[in-house]
Amino acid sequence: MELVLELTVIVILATLLMYLLLSEYTKKRRMNNRMKEFLPSPQMKELVEGQEKEPSVFKRFFLSIARMFNSVQFSERTEKLLVEAGSNLKPEEFFALRILSAAGIAIITGLLGLPWYLFLFAAVFGFIIPKTMMKQKRKKRLARANYQLIEVLGMMANSMRAGFSFMQAMQLVGKEVPDPLGPEFDRVVRQSGLGVPLEDVFEEMVQRLPNNELEVVVRAILAQRKSGGNLAELLETMEDTIRGRVRILEELRTLTAQGRMSSWIITLIPVGLALYLALVNREYFAPMLEHPLGWAMLFVASVSTILGWVFIQKIIRIEV
């Protein structure tokens, strides 16, 4: 019972620690960006420059660790993950964050005096947490692009009917729409202004923001620029099409809600029952943790539970 309680405390403390660190870092970065955008006064510029020249102790320590990995060649998957998640972290900074997370959770485990194998488990768990959170951030960002794309297409169509050019309509989107589509369209305008072909700029945007609906829109716009036609009408047609796709996705999400809930309930029932038996009747559950046959049974049960969860997720995931 004490082992289970200590392990639960470690997981809760590690999760809270990572959440506080990342939320504080994100809050400061968002505040600085808003000050630069809306208050470009000389006093504010001096304040922002002073903050950039004098980073906090934690940030200096973090950057010093990140510099140790400057010469390391990280995989393209890591760089792609950071770009798609909209993170400003460099690959070496992200790796340093994972190292600090693993070290912090391992230190907490050591201070609690837990066995060495739990120490290793906590370190691996802390190393995985930042990547899992970054994948979740990427998933939310890509999902938000679907809803923004409907607004963007309507805005561009109305702007072009009002007399705006195509580039002026994209510039308006870059100023008015928040992340993720707003900054991406603003980047397209700036790159095309520097002489980069529009086809290459759009291809890079699709790579940075891999969204099926956005790719369809980009292909249609490029085809229209080569063949000609009423671009405003084309944008309105694509707006209606994407609105229908999003509505279908929401309906599918509603219909599969029971299956998704069942997957979590079926997966967590064995874990909850094991914790309950370990806390209520330690002597009854002790053979599962102390006897080799109990270890084998726990291993087989864990693998079976994970496979069941994966199969249920495959069934309820419907491509549209």
Average pLDDT of the chain is: 83
Confidence label for 160 from pLDDT (cuts 50, 70 and 90):
very high
Higher pLDDT, residue 1 or 220: 220
Entry pTM? 0.70
Give tens-digit pLDDT for 94-113.
Answer: 999 999 999 988 888 888 77
Q: Which residue matches tokens 């994970």?
A: 306
Q: How confident is the model at residue 134 (pLDDT cuts 50, 70, 90)?
A: very high
163: left (phi over 0), alpha (psi -120 to 50) or beta: left
Q: What is the pLDDT of residue 280?
A: 85
Q: What is the mean pLDDT of residues 74-103?
A: 90
Q: What pLDDT band is residue 8 in, cutting at 50, 70 and 90?
A: low
In percent, how much of the chain has pLDDT > 70?
82
Q: How confident is the model at residue 188 (pLDDT cuts 50, 70, 90)?
A: very high
State how far the Cα of 26 lies from the Cα of 58, in Å rounded to an integer: 14
Q: Which amino acid is at 263?
A: S
Rounded to the nearest 10 degrees, how much is the dihedral formed by the CA atoms of 123, 126, 128, 130? -150
pLDDT of residue 244 exceeding 50? yes
| pLDDT, mean of residues 162-187 | 92
Q: What is the pLDDT of residues 27-68, one digit of tens each?
A: 666 666 655 554 444 444 444 445 445 667 778 888 888 888
Average confidence (pLDDT) over 176-193: 91
Share of the chain above pLDDT 90, in %: 32
> Of 11-20, 149-158, 163-172, 276-285, which gets the smallest average pLDDT?
11-20
How far, in Å, CA of 294 to CA of 138, rounded? 39
Give the list of residues 6+ apart from residue 254 with CB closer than 8 angstroms, or none. Answer: none
pLDDT exceeds 90 at position 149: yes
| DSSP 8-class letter at 256 | T
Long-range own/partner contacts, residues 4-12 (CB < 8 A, 24 or more apart): 4/275, 4/278, 4/279, 5/279, 6/112, 6/114, 6/118, 7/114, 7/118, 9/112, 10/105, 10/108, 10/109, 10/112, 10/114, 10/118, 10/122, 11/125
pLDDT of 157 over the 70 cut:
yes
pLDDT at 281 over 90: no
In this prediction, residue 169 has a pLDDT band, given cuts at 50, 70 and 90, of: very high
In angstroms, the CA 24 to CA 136 distance is 18
